Amino acid sequence: DCGKLLKEGTIISKTKHTWNAGKITTAATTTKEGIKTFTCTFCGVTRTEKIAKLKPQTVTPGKVINDKATNGVYKVLKDGMSVEFTKPFYKKASVRIPDTVKVNGITCKVTAISANAFKNNKSLKSVTIGRNVTVIGTNAFYGCRKLSRVSGGNGIVKIDHRAFANCISLSKITIPGTVRSIGKQAFRNCKKLRSITIKTST
């Protein structure tokens, strides 16, 4: 009250944060970075660090897989994460091209039906194409004389040359709006083909 200085204080430097070991608050995936959050054990303030994206597991390109469960022989493509259907394991009247197959425990998308995959197959009557298939290769179904039903394939972008040539029992087919290219003679000599539905993207 009298205004007399009793004692002068000293400035004490602030202490540094002491961070804990941190906690993963958002896990990293192959498509997104993760986040790790650290908390100061004294004041409770937090800070974050980014966690790098995970590297996707891949399979050796060119590897060939015989998969009896899906009745297919597959070949791993360059990216190591997708495969093409090269031929059926057994010749059956009905075949389904799957969306994915497991290769050494890794799930790979089936993105193509290779050239000559079913060429001159005398047993094939119907085929269901998986949603991840974007390419039907050259001569893929050439000469499948009993093939009368083709379904699925809503993601197809390219139908290559002579893909369905000489499929004399094929009477109708639907081409999805995703298709951007149809090769030469793709439906050559399909004598019964009377109905072609071309879907648009709108």
What are the pLDDT digits (tens) for 181-195? Answer: 999 999 999 999 999
C-alpha to C-alpha distance for 35 and 14, rounded to whole angstroms: 28
Burial class (CB in 10 A: 0-12, 13-18, 19+), 35: middle
Average pLDDT over residues 121-141: 96
Q: How far apart are CA 88 and CA 91, in angstroms?
A: 6
Q: What is the pLDDT of residue 202?
A: 58
pLDDT at 1 over 80: no
Q: Buried (b) or exposed (e) across 143-163, using 16+ Cβ within 10 A? A: bbeebbebebbebbebbbbbb
* Mean pLDDT value across residues 10-32: 90
Q: Quick: pLDDT tens for 54-72.
A: 888 889 999 999 999 999 9
More confident residue, 46 or 8: 46
- How does pLDDT run across 93-130, given as a tens digit for each residue? 999 999 999 998 899 999 999 999 999 999 999 999 99
Assessment of whether the complete model's pTM goes beyond 0.85: no
pLDDT category at 161 given cuts 50, 70, 90 is very high
Cα torsion 104, 109, 115, 118: sign? positive
What b/e sequence results for 118-140 when a residue is b if at least 16 CB atoms lie within 10 Å of its CB, and e otherwise?
bbebeebbebebbbbbbbbbbbb
